[in-house]
Amino acid sequence: MNFLANPLLSSSTLTPLFDPFGFGRAAFDYWRDSVERSVLYLDVMRERGNQYLEHMEQTKPSVLGFDTEVLMDGRTLPRPTNYELLRVLPHEGTEVDLQKRPFVVVDPRAGHGPGIGGFKPDSELGVALKAGHPCYFIGFLPFPEPGQTVEDVVEAEIAFLRHVIELHPETTERPMVVGNCQAGWQLMMGAALEPDVFGPILIAGAPLSYWAGEHGKAPMRYTGGMSGGSWITALTSDIGDGMFDGAWLVQNFERLNPANTHWKKQYHLYDNIDTEAGRYLDFERWWGGHVVLGGEEIQYIVDNLFVGNRLSTAQLVTHDGRRIDLRNVRSPVVVFCSKGDDITPPPQALGWIRDLYEDEDDLIANEQTIVYCQHDTTGHLGIFVSSSVSRKEHTEFTANMDYIDVMPPGLYETTVTHTDDHHDPALIERDYLLEFTPRNFAELDRDVMHKPEDDRRFATVARVSEINLGMYRLFLQPWLKASITPEAARWIRRMHPIRLGYKLFSDRNPLSVPLPVMAEVVRKNRHSVSQDNLFKALETMGSDQIVTSLNSMRDLRDANTEKMFMNIYGQPFLQAAVGLHGDAHVHRRRPGAEPEHRRFVKQRQEEIREKIAQGGAHEAVMRSLIYVLGGAPATDERNFKRLRASRSELEPGIKLSEFKRLVREQFFILKLDREQALNVLPGLLNGLSNADISGHVKQLEHVFAASGELSERAAERFAQIKMLFDKARPAKPAAAPAKAPAKTVAKPKSAAKPAAVAEPTTPKPSAAERAPAKLQSVKPLASAEKKAASKSVAKPANGAGKKTPPKR
């Protein structure tokens, strides 16, 4: 390589006199630069291979970017698993407040190794540590324990969370839990079985509704049908002697985007070889850290989730008879997905809501709070890997979890906007603001795009899968199991094309011996060219053409796959052959539409209706707060300041769980019958003194002022609340007459009128503030007003002593 550094071979000395336009110089500079880049690229591939071999030889490989200590080992549990609970140790200079809510990240076990949730300083763990939360990480080992099942893993995660709760007895809030991709649906299963263990749940890029998807997109949902069902999964596990190689899952991901897999990612490294080597190697350390799953685990996942779609329809039952119904989840759920994600598109991330619940009232009756956020462009990995996403969306999710935890039930969509876009940036504590907008199911349907006619097709796939799996287990599996030995299974894993691609470029290949020496010479005498070089520009154009061609081939492949799937599984003959033809057949269970569930919703509404007139000042104040803020203390974190102030000032000393119950109950009441809920407010305050009522009004004013002026609508509602509070004030006794009352009366005619009767001094409301008609005649106050008025009526001047009823 020394000839490249020879000054006699510089472009200036070799440019002929007949090259006035510099084409020869540009060609030579480009040739030298391309040779140097090729040497450096091959050396990076060599380092990648060495890194892969070193990573795979570790007993506990991880790409986690933080120091940790093991707190619990899943292998010691009654039903052993290969999972671990780790305490994350903050970097030097980062302070952690043990009084804050614990933060737990669970990484996906979908072919890759653990650590992606804390891969970078700007990651899910990094964001939580910067916010001062004590952080924990649930990772896993490369190989499963013998007999390990999905249910065992779910129970292990529940045990880990219980241990985290025990470590923070001074914290009343349950841990916030983050599940990425596959870990998301595992966490939802655990939260459905043990809802009291989980705090707010953030699921990022997690598929829960596997039949959902938009036509022309989401090609992975057709994979099971085009392979004839889950028999291929059983075959792959049997080839591995009961172990399923995660490299097969990684290969499925790579096939989704052949342009990026076979050209774009590698060319980007080659084109920016001087700056991209470190980032590329860091990512490849995780992407190539393939792990192994148990055959029973992956079969359960494919049969019940990817093909059967039984999680979002409450059809899964544990081995001990417990139904896994996601409607049992009591924690707020934040769903983070992206329109640019072709592995877990928004319909698959959000479709479970539509599968389980019929409408918003059904959602509210189940006391469920669901918040979803859709990124516009980022891919599947970017949801939980991208630093820009972590600095923006994940920072806001973490900062607002306490707010989300006390939000009333309902469906909300969030957007993240910059502080400068708002008129009151002083009230915003960070660079971005997370805003919440209530949504209805009609708006949700536009994102889910559910098509009932597709359900029969996917139900047909599930039936065909059961048939093919049964045939495989009857005829082929016994022969295969008898011929595969553990040694043969290990050799097959090592010869997987993806694994082999790493090893061939490592130092174990004798041809790579001169690469480090050549690369060192190039680095010392590097001659890079700029994009202005004609041939470099032509190279870039050629790369773009290759990417475009590969993308066109992918689109054609996906379109044909979808067309074949729709035609094959839409055939009436095939549907009839598996017993699914006919309009009367129920192809997909809809738990929200079942009669027993509708009875539950009606019963729940009756229970709430009975509580409308129950309670006291606490209920009246919180009901007023929610009503003034528009039916839900939502929109953004500035209103959270109001809610937080209401907890510390209006309800001092109340526990978060009780405060949450109070907020939700009063929200239910207002949602069910707002007119009656307001009508009984004076009755809830009955018995309080004028000073107490005035104190509550002043406290409400202070809370509402926490984030600036109220909107016009909120101000009108607050005026209505003040009027209702005034109705509850006790009647003031009239001034006692003088000892010689006859002398103090100027006009005898007016003595026939009663003296001033104590009445609530309610200002006359404007037309915009005037309450409904029913609010002007509050029946629960009638007896109280008569009793108070009878004691406070002064004697008339004529001495008749006749009692006069108060004015109405």
153 and 244 in a single domain? The answer is no
Tell me whether residue 427 is in a domain. Answer: yes
Q: How confident is the model at residue 609 (pLDDT cuts 50, 70, 90)?
A: confident
* Strand, helix or coil for residue 485: coil
pLDDT given for residue 683 in this prediction = 92
Same domain (yes/no): 340, 433 = yes
Distance of alpha carbon 534 from alpha carbon 196, whole angstroms: 65
Domain edge (last residue) among 717, 732, 747: 732
Positive/negative CA dihedral, 577, 582, 586, 587: positive
Q: Is residue 203 part of a domain?
A: yes
| Least confident among 88-92, 218-222, 365-369, 750-754 | 750-754
- 3-state SS track over 145-177: CCCCCHHHHHHHHHHHHHHHHHHCCCCCCCCEE
Give Cα 403 to chain centroid, integer Å.
15
Predicted local confidence at residue 644, as pLDDT = 60
Instruction: Please name the residues in contact with 339: beta carbons below 8 A apart, sequence gap of 6 or more.
Output: 345, 346, 374, 375, 376, 377
> Which tens digits make up the pLDDT trace of 477-508?
999 999 999 999 999 999 999 999 999 999 99
Per-residue pLDDT tens over the stretch 50-69: 999 999 898 888 889 899 99
pLDDT (mean) for 335-361: 92
Q: Which of 330, 310, 369, 366 is nearest to 185 (CA)?
A: 310
Domain boundary at 732, 754, 777, which?
A: 732
389 & 333 share domain = yes
- CATH code of the domain in which 143 resides: 3.40.50.1820
Residue 68: strand pairing partners? 88
Select the more confidently predicted residue: 191 or 788.
191
632 vs 567: which has the higher pLDDT: 567
Cα 769 to Cα 724: distance, rounded to the nearest angstrom:
12
Residue 523, both tokens: 């680095």
Residues 260 and 201 in one domain: no
Residues 248, 192 share a domain: no
Average pLDDT over residues 503-530: 94
State whether 349 and 247 are in the same domain: no
Q: Return the closest-CA partner of residue 298 out of 352, 251, 238.
A: 238
Are 255 and 144 members of one domain? no
Residue 677 in domain: yes
pLDDT tens-digit map of 705-734: 765 677 788 888 999 999 999 999 987 665
Let me know if residue 139 belongs to a domain: yes
346 vs 419, higher pLDDT: 346
Three-state DSSP state, 87: strand
Tens of pLDDT, residues 237-293: 999 999 999 999 999 999 999 999 999 999 999 999 999 999 999 999 999 999 999
Residue 101 · residue 401 · CB < 8 Å: yes
CA end-to-end span of the chain: 104
Asked if residue 168 and residue 98 are part of one domain, the reply reads: yes
pTM: 0.82
Residue 363 phi, psi dihedral angles, 5° rounding: -65, -45
Give domain status of residue 366, yes or no: yes
Domain for residue 29, yes or no?
no
CA distance 464 to 382: 35
Q: Is the pLDDT of residue 101 over 80?
A: yes
State the average pLDDT over residues 467-471: 97
Strand partners, 273: none
Q: Is 608 in contact with 366 (CB distance < 8 Å)? A: no
Does 193 share its domain with 324? Answer: yes
| Number of separate domains in the chain | 3
pLDDT band (50, 70, 90) for residue 756: very low
Q: Give the span between the Cα atoms of 690 and 725, in whole angstroms.
A: 10
722 within some domain:
yes
Do both 236 and 369 map to the same domain? no
Residue 702 belongs to domain spanning: 611-732
**Residue 773 in tokens:** 């008609």
* pLDDT tens, position by position, 595-608: 766 777 777 778 88
Residues 237 and 92 grouped into a single domain: no
pLDDT of 768 higher than 70: no
Name the token pair of 529: 């060219």
* Residues of the chain above pLDDT 70, percent: 81
Flag the least confident range among 109-113, 150-154, 645-649. 645-649
Same domain, 405 and 486: no
DSSP sequence for 761-791: -PPPP-TTTPPPGGGGS-GGGHHHHHHHHHH
What is the spatial distance between Cα 719 and Cα 704, in angstroms, rounded to a whole number? Answer: 13
Per mean pLDDT, which range of 349-358, 522-531, 765-774 is the poorest? 765-774
474, part of any domain: yes
Q: What is the mean pLDDT of the chain?
A: 83
CB 286 within 8 A of CB 61: no
Q: Which of 341, 260, 247 is nearest to 287 (CA)?
A: 247
Instruction: For the chain, give the percent of residues with pLDDT over 90.
Output: 54
